[in-house]
A and B are shown apart, each in its own frame.
Chain A
């Protein structure tokens, strides 16, 4: 087995190490989120007396609010602090001593978590789809789900780069947890986690289409829900692909500079 495969296997074993935490993480959080979203939007739909809001039926809206937080989970990967914490407490030392690229290692661990959450999304969405939507399940829907999941995983690399840019600031500022939270909020807002992008003003939507954020949530989620055409989905995907090398180069430059600042904690 190669080291990347072994890294993936080790991370999976870490995810499965604690049974109760695993089940709460896998089912508990999502069920609560889904319940809140359903209750909230049901009351909004009932109070308005409408069957569609912003082009969404109640079922579609519920599915959107199932998919958006799960997509954020995929993007979050190993969670905030995966680099900054190790820079802060000197845990980074081991990656610098090992004969492998530290960022490559971190990307692999991040993608392992992302892949795990992707499987979670696929499972929970399919299950919820049958309960919440009466329409017959078609092959195109399944293909959209597969394409959407692939899309999310590629976008996750972009989000990893953005997280790295925040996390690596720890070389200078030690503690950068708040930067990670800020990124999560900005990505959530401009990506469409809190509200579908179709609800946003036209000018903001025009700006967003040139930024990578739409590819994080809105792009893949709308593709899975069948709310965007393959061409529309491809457009935000291409924008992400254009941003990827830019973000990658920025991470590389910051890593190089930051390494010169690193003290490994203490003297």
Chain B
């Protein structure tokens, strides 16, 4: 289990005025600002849970992951990962943990992945039988068998992420931190990585903490999400609940038999009306939906009427912009 209580982290960051004069002044005197990357964050994650950390750039997601992985020290608060303080860097904990940072390679570029895996085998003291089994299983699921003997630097971005994932999971960790695992990957590769993570989680039940800017990752993998804004935790719960509780907007779609020629007049205060081919779409708030529908149905006789929830991306974007609802 992961237990975080009152976690805060501040960074002291130097600033510099732009331009050459700013650079010259910076040689003598630097200005520093203190940035609160995390503020009083508390959460619990049970074994076998897959949790998505969501937030804008600089919200504090990666800082939280780095603290949980024992890479950086918190300014305040308590963290327990599988009963250990991560920044004690206890080997017992580190043998059960994996960190994958999408933008940071862990394997050696100049060597084939298998060479790096042999080292990881010794570092994590993986028994021979388990090592062979994991290589077989992971390379099979990730469909990367043929690439294991090729220098990592010669692999495509997607293949590189797959071999990185494989390396991080060789020792079958109980806690996996994934920081942007699909960043920069094409749609096919993203899909493959997501499918793999889903299968892996089902098979081995580790705690998986995932940060991603791709909502598809979160939607597909994380039943529970934690929303972070300016270092503070603003939501912790089911992804579906956000949509139900905080999806303020609704989309009303009227479908007609014939193609529409002009956008009809419609009171702007009731929502935004758009036209495409034989459809009229109205984006409005939940509270105004009935009134808006009345106005439209009095004017038109559509062939079909549907009411849709807005995409989760929009709900979360709204939620992050407005903070706690």
Chain A interface (Cβ < 8 Å from any Cβ of B): 1-3, 5-7, 9-10, 13-14, 17-18, 90-91, 93-94, 96-100, 259-260, 262-264, 266-267
What are the residues of chain A within 8 A of B116 when measuring CB–CB? 10
A97 and B11 contacting across the interface, CB-CB below 8 Å: no
Considering only CB atoms and an 8 Å cut-off, how many residues of chain B contact the other chain?
37
CB distance from A9 to the nearest CB of B (A): 8
Task: From B71, B118, B119, B121, give the contact of A97 (CB < 8 A).
Answer: B71
- Cα A90 to Cα B73 with chains together (Å): 15
Task: From B37, B91, B110, give the contact of A18 (CB < 8 A).
Answer: B110
What are the residues of chain B within 8 A of A10 when measuring CB–CB? 108, 111, 115-116, 118-119
Given contacts A10-B116, A264-B71, A267-B58, contact A97 B94 (CB under 8 A): yes
A263 and B11 contacting across the interface, CB-CB below 8 Å: yes
- Cα A260 to Cα B75 with chains together (Å): 10
B71 and A3 contacting across the interface, CB-CB below 8 Å: no
B72 and A264 contacting across the interface, CB-CB below 8 Å: yes
CB proximity to A under 8 Å, residues B89-148:
89, 91-92, 94-95, 97-99, 101, 104, 106, 108, 110-111, 115-116, 118-119, 121-125
CB distance from B149 to the nearest CB of A (A): 13
A90 and B104 contacting across the interface, CB-CB below 8 Å: yes
- Cα A17 to Cα B62 with chains together (Å): 34
CB proximity to A under 8 Å, residues B21-51:
35, 37
9 of the cross-chain contacts (CB-CB < 8 Å) are: A14-B111, A93-B104, A97-B71, A97-B99, A98-B123, A99-B91, A100-B123, A263-B11, A266-B62
B108 and A14 contacting across the interface, CB-CB below 8 Å: yes
CB proximity to A under 8 Å, residues B60-90:
60, 62-63, 66, 69-73, 89
What are the residues of chain B within 8 A of A1 when measuring CB–CB? 122
- Cα A90 to Cα B37 with chains together (Å): 17
Known A90-B104, A259-B73; further 13 A-B contacts with Cβ < 8 A = A6-B119, A14-B110, A17-B151, A93-B71, A94-B106, A96-B71, A97-B98, A98-B94, A98-B124, A99-B94, A262-B71, A264-B66, A267-B60
- Cα A14 to Cα B71 with chains together (Å): 26
What are the residues of chain B within 8 A of A9 when measuring CB–CB? 118
Chain A's closest residue to B61 (CB) is A267
Given contacts A1-B122, A259-B73, A262-B71, contact A267 B35 (CB under 8 A): yes
B111 and A17 contacting across the interface, CB-CB below 8 Å: yes
- Cα A73 to Cα B98 with chains together (Å): 36
Task: From A7, A18, A263, give the contact of B72 (CB < 8 A).
Answer: A263
Chain A's closest residue to B69 (CB) is A97
CB distance from A241 to the nearest CB of B (A): 30
What are the residues of chain A within 8 A of B95 when measuring CB–CB? 99
B122 and A267 contacting across the interface, CB-CB below 8 Å: no
CB distance from B77 to the nearest CB of A (A): 15
Query: Chain B CB within 10 Å — which of A14, A97, A259 has the most?
Result: A97
- Cα A34 to Cα B176 with chains together (Å): 53
What are the residues of chain B within 8 A of A98 when measuring CB–CB? 94, 123-124
A7 and B119 contacting across the interface, CB-CB below 8 Å: yes
A267 and B37 contacting across the interface, CB-CB below 8 Å: yes
CB distance from B253 to the nearest CB of A (A): 41
Chain B's closest residue to A102 (CB) is B89
- Cα A158 to Cα B7 with chains together (Å): 40
CB distance from B130 to the nearest CB of A (A): 16
What are the residues of chain B within 8 A of A260 when measuring CB–CB? 73
B62 and A91 contacting across the interface, CB-CB below 8 Å: no
- Cα A174 to Cα B101 with chains together (Å): 21
- Cα A267 to Cα B35 with chains together (Å): 9
Chain A's closest residue to B120 (CB) is A98
CB distance from A67 to the nearest CB of B (A): 30
- Cα A13 to Cα B113 with chains together (Å): 13
- Cα A34 to Cα B126 with chains together (Å): 48
What are the residues of chain A within 8 A of B60 when measuring CB–CB? 267
What are the residues of chain A within 8 A of B91 when measuring CB–CB? 99-100
